[in-house]
Chain A
Amino acid sequence: DAGVIQSPRHEVTEMGQEVTLRCKPISGHNSLFWYRQTMMRGLELLIYFNNNVPIDDSGMPEDRFSAKMPNASFSTLKIQPSEPRDSAVYFCASSLSQGAFGTQYFGPGTRLLVL
């Protein structure tokens, strides 16, 4: 199994630009999670999906952030417009369960730098 795939691995952009992060979950997993990791705030859950439906997006910091999951094998996290404070590592994880019963498998992350 290829594991969770994220692209790009690194992204450098200028403030105000649109950023799109991509995630391919493990085949057969029905839950997908987007996290943000920074030194100051640690690992934060932004949003999660179950069966392609967004369940809880209360962790999304602002309206500039949006996430979609058009099918079971693909999800995007978009930031528009981006700001320097969005610089972080963004992780996608997938699982057989949205809750505690399933192990979350993390992708390698996308390191985002907004100048």
Chain B
Amino acid sequence: AQSVTQPDIHITVSEGASLELRCNYSYGATPYLFWYVQSPGQGLQLLLKYFSGDTLVQGIKGFEAEFKRSQSSFNLRKPSVHWSDAAEYFCAVGYSGNTPLVFGKGTRLSVIA
């Protein structure tokens, strides 16, 4: 069965520091991978997605993610975190046009001064 694992429930980083949020997926087929962000009190918003091609994808708000097939990973990165990046981040995976996305449990990011 399809599954997504976000190993870190909560991460705290200092403002200006770099960030990496981990995401691992199961299943052998080529996945379609997504990162969403949920700010407090709001719905989820798409940050970026990977369908094919270049394994390093750029998203909004200065985020990027790298697909590594050998590690079944799609980690999200940002070189310098801003206080406004404090939110919950969800990784999601899909495999076809007929089955819906599977979301991870989310990683909550706190940013300290």
Contacts and interface: CB of A to CB of B under 8 A. Distances in A.
Contact of B100 (A98, A106, A108): A98
B49 A43 contact: no
Contact of A33 (B99, B100, B106): B100
Contacts of A25: none
A113 interface: no
Interface residues of B, number: 25
Most buried by B among A97, A100, A107: A100
B96 interface: yes
Given A48-B100, A98-B98, A100-B96, A106 B49 contact: no
Contacts of A104: 44, 46, 101
Contact of B96 (A42, A45, A99): A99
B103 A101 contact: no
Contact of A42 (B46, B93, B105): B105
22 contacts: A4-B43, A42-B105, A45-B100, A45-B103, A91-B43, A91-B44, A93-B43, A93-B44, A97-B97, A98-B99, A99-B96, A100-B94, A100-B99, A105-B46, A106-B36, A106-B43, A106-B45, A107-B43, A108-B41, A108-B43, A109-B42, A109-B43
